[in-house]
């Protein structure tokens, strides 16, 4: 059973470009979470999605950031018009349920904005 997959592992974008980060949850998991980690810091929650629904986006910046988890295919975190402050590691996690279920994390995508 493959774990949570994220791609790309490393992404370099120039200021103003768009970044698309992909996450495939573990098989059988329908709950996906995105977290952001700045250097030397802990992870900060961004958004929680179930298939075709955004359940909690309280951690998402109001502008330029969006997320989706379509019926088919991976979850996508999209950052438009990236700025240097968006440089961070973005982690996706998935779980089988929401009540005391462990979240399993992917290897992360390290975004560098030049």
Partner 1 sequence: SQQGEEDPQALSIQEGENATMNCSYKTSINNLQWYRQNSGRGLVHLILIRSNEREKHSGRLRVTLDTSKKSSSLLITASRAADTASYFCATDHGAAGNKLTFGGGTRVLVKP
Residue 24 binds to partner 1 (criterion: CB under 8 A)? no
d(CA 76, CA 55): 15
Catalogue the E-assigned strands of the chain: 5-7, 10-13, 19-24, 31-37, 43-50, 53-56, 65-68, 75-79, 88-95, 104-105, 109-113
- Taking the complex as a whole, how short is the minimal distance between the CB of residue 27 and partner 1, in angstroms? 17
- Taking the complex as a whole, how short is the minimal distance between the CB of residue 30 and partner 1, in angstroms? 11
Per the CB < 8 A criterion, the answer to whether 32 and 23 are in contact is yes
Q: Kindly write out the interface string for residues 75-114 of this chain, putting x where it contacts partner 1 by CB under 8 A and - elsewhere.
A: ----------------x-x-x--xxxxxxxxxxx-x----
Residue 68 binds to partner 1 (criterion: CB under 8 A)? no
Residue 2 binds to partner 1 (criterion: CB under 8 A)? no
Tell me which of 7, 45, 66, 96 binds partner 1, using CB under 8 A. Answer: 45
Residues near partner 1 (CB under 8 A) are 31, 33, 35, 41-45, 48, 55-56, 59, 91, 93, 95, 98-108, 110
């Amino acid at each position: 059973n493959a774990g949570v997959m994220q791609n790309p592992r490393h992404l370099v974008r120039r200021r103003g470009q768009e970044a698309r980060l992909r996450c495939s949850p573990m098989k059988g998991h329908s709950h996906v979470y995105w977290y952001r980690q700045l250097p030397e810091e802990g992870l900060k929650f961004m958004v929680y999605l179930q298939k075709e629904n955004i359940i909690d986006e309280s951690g998402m910046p109001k502008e330029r950031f969006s997320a989706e988890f379509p019926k088919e295919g991976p979850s996508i975190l999209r950052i438009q018009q990236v700025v240097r402050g968006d440089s961070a590691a973005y982690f996706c996690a998935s779980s089988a349920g929401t009540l005391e279920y462990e979240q399993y994390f992917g290897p992360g995508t390290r975004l560098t904005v030049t």
